[in-house]
Structures are given as structure tokens and as C-alpha cells.
Amino acid sequence: MSLRVHVEKKLGPAGAGFALDAEFTSQGRITALFGRSGAGKSTLVDSIAGLLRPDRGAISLDGVTLFDSAAGIDLPAHRRRIGYVFQEGRLFPHLSVRRNLLYGRRFTAKPDRWGQLDEIVALLGIGALLGRRPAGLSGGEKQRVAIGRALLSSPRILLMDEPLAALDRERKADILPYIEQLRDHMRVPIVYVSHAVDEVSRLADTVVLLEDGKVAALGPVNDVLGASAEFIAEGAEAGIVVSAGIARHDQANGITHLAHAAGDLSVPLVALPIGEPVRLRIRARDVALAVGDPGRVSIRNRLAGTVVAITEGSPPSVAVRLDIAGDPLIASVTRDAVRDLDLKIGSTVTALIKSAAFDPLSLGKESVDSQG
């Protein structure tokens, strides 16, 4: 998938309010539009969908022009073959789940259709829901049905605008594996809108960071989230994505042991087989640093690393970027700690991370593509 976007749009009274001026190109499996509320994410995704007309610019998907102000091209939304999943699902209340799923399929020409009802129902685990009405579904079930309906319209691209924003943490943890399955098995490119770091770091391979209507950064998830530490809670919530393979499960203690070249990691039990690659987000605020042997401490996870950058934040915060066997990692520490440990570029350290720092939202299956 090659998505090219360069649009400008002024919103507010007489165009004097918020202004969007964004340009990016993406070829990722999941491209996340990421940023704080009000950064322009929904405005941008609505422009791609054809629900909002930019003042000027151009949008193309795999070489097909969807919008070009200079050429006078503005394909209506129903001709763009774009699937859209909203925050609240927007299911038709008078239709059964089965009829909701099949609603958009009739608008797609038969030669352009892909994906079968049984296949998508199985992928999303909604077979038991087919005869029910939306009023009898939970929030997570409604979102899975909404995703299935969008997929059965055979889109060239799927837009997901804060699809988990209305769900509590438990429901989010339930639905994230389904989105991972979609990412890995349906082969439909996704533009995923979110301001939640845990969702973006777990799902996306490419991130577009939006600030005040402009693209502040664009690139692989690690590069953008690592660089955005200064923007997001002074680096405490920014996270680096690390991949590691499942070595063994300790069912009795509820722990999964992961193998990484910089050291072993123990995390809450992950329901995946031995050898399966896992993607996990390690937040800067959850990383402590030690010089020399840390001795007997309760922290189980110890990764060997080298300091490659030290960036001042708002007092007393300092972001220390490490190289751990080729992967990046960021620790958020105090200026006093940097001075007392005599940290400098090239220093050898041990990164200490509590097993309890990982929760279900920060652990997920690594995408198929990123494994080669």
C-alpha cells in the first residue's frame, strides 16, 4: 500500500480556527496517526475517507487519485473503496449482526470483492453473535462487528478512528489481539488513529506524529516514539518497542520468560506458543539504570546496554538512550542520577525493568512482516 497525502484545511469561523497542513507517504501495514487530542488526526483521516473536503492538496492510494484540488478531482466517499471504523461502531440497530456485516458488501462490484463472511467471522470470533441485534452486544463485541462490516465491503484500505477510545482497559485488552490478527492475516493496510501510546506501540509499524495540525515526525514506530519522549509526558509515557522470543512459560507463577540478545525478560503470562516473537513496549519511566553489578535486588529483568545519547528534559528529568544488543531503549532518570553514576556517551550500564511494569496492553504478537 502506498498512501500519499498532502492536504490543507482551515476549520472554525470563517476559516480562522484550527488549520491542518499535513503531508506524508506511508507504505506500512499499520500506519498510526498519533498525537494529543486536537492535533488534527480525525480531520486528516476524514479527508482521506472523503467525509471532509480539504481546501487544497492531493490524496492518492496506490496510484489512484482520490482528491486533487488543482485537477478538480474529488471522488465521493462511496467510490473510494475505503473501510471506516468509528469510535462507537455505528451499527444499524434494526439489523441483526449478520445483516450488519453484509450491508456494505452489496455496494462493491463482484470482481472487487475479497474476504468471505465465514472467514472474517472466524477471524473476529463473532460467530455466536450473528443472530443478535446491536442492543444486546457489549462495547467490544460491537467494535468487532463494526470491523467485520468494514472488511466485508472489500476496502483497499481500512481507517480506524480511535476504535478503542470508548472501551475500558479490560475490553481493550480483549480486542487488541483481534486487531493484531487482522494486521497479520487479512493483508489490508490500516490507518489507525490514536492518542494512546500503548495501542500505537503494540500495533503500528509506521507512525505519523501530528502536532497542531502539522506532521512533527514520520517513520518506524521506534524512531518516532523514541524521539517524541520530549513531547509526551516528558518521556515517561513514551515507549520503545522491543521484540523478543518466548523461551518458556512458568504457569505456576504466571510468568512468561522471553529471550533477548541483551538478556532475558520475565513478563506476565502471554498466551502464545514457545518460540513465538512478542512485541512489548518498555516505558522510559519503568527503566532504572545501574553501573556495575546491581547486586541482589527484586527487579528480575536486567538488560546490558551502552549509553548512546543523553537528552535534558524539564527538571529534574533526563532521557538516557541506550543501545541494547542493537535495539534502542530509553530510561527516564534524574539529573542527580546522571551525575552520581557518571553517565556519558559510551558508558556501559545495566537496564533494570520490573516485570510488573508490563500489562496486557503493552504485550502483543509481533507482526509477521517485521520478522522478515
Q: What's the pLDDT tens digit per position in 148-163? A: 999 999 898 999 999 9
Convert the pLDDT of each residue in 174-206 to its tens digit: 888 889 888 888 778 899 999 888 888 888 888
The stretch 97-123 carries a mean pLDDT of 87
Residue 26 has pLDDT above 80, yes or no: no
User: How far apart (Å, rounded) are the C-alpha atoms in residues 324 and 327?
Assistant: 5
Convert the pLDDT of each residue in 268-291 to its tens digit: 888 888 988 888 888 888 899 999
Q: Which helix H or strand E contains 210, and what residues bound it?
A: strand 206-211
* pLDDT of res. 326: 87
Look up cell 540478545; give the residue: 261
Residue 107 has pLDDT above 80, yes or no: no
Could you tell me the sign of the dihedral formed by the alpha carbons of 363, 368, 370, 372, in that order?
Answer: positive
Report helix, strand or coil for 308: strand
The stretch 305-332 carries a mean pLDDT of 87
**CATH architecture for the domain at 240-371:** Beta Barrel (2.40)
Greater pLDDT, 148 or 115: 148
User: How far apart (Å, rounded) are the C-alpha atoms in residues 249 and 226?
Assistant: 30
Convert the pLDDT of each residue in 38-86 to its tens digit: 889 999 999 999 999 999 999 998 889 999 999 999 999 988 999 999 9
Residue 358 has pLDDT above 70, yes or no: yes
For CATH 3.40.50.300, the residue range(s) in the chain are 3-220
* pLDDT of res. 305: 94
Q: Residue 14 — very low, low, confident or very high, per pLDDT cuts 50/70/90?
A: low
Convert the pLDDT of each residue in 211-253 to its tens digit: 888 888 888 887 787 665 544 444 445 567 788 889 999 999 9
Look up cell 471522488; give the residue: 75
Q: Take residue 301 and report the three cell numbers written for it.
A: 529483568
Q: What is the CATH number of domain 3-220?
A: 3.40.50.300
User: How far apart (Å, rounded) are the C-alpha atoms in residues 49 and 189?
Assistant: 14
Q: Take residue 329 and report the three cell numbers written for it.
A: 531503549
The neighbouring-strand residues paired with 287 are 353
Average pLDDT score, the chain: 86
Q: Helices (DSSP H) in the chain: which residue ranges?
A: 41-49, 97-102, 117-124, 139-151, 169-185, 197-203, 221-227, 335-340
Q: Which of 78-82, 106-110, 133-137, 292-296 has the lowest mean pLDDT?
A: 106-110
For CATH 2.40.50.100, the residue range(s) in the chain are 240-371
What pTM value is reported for the model? 0.81
DSSP state of 75: -
Residue 349 has pLDDT above 70, yes or no: yes
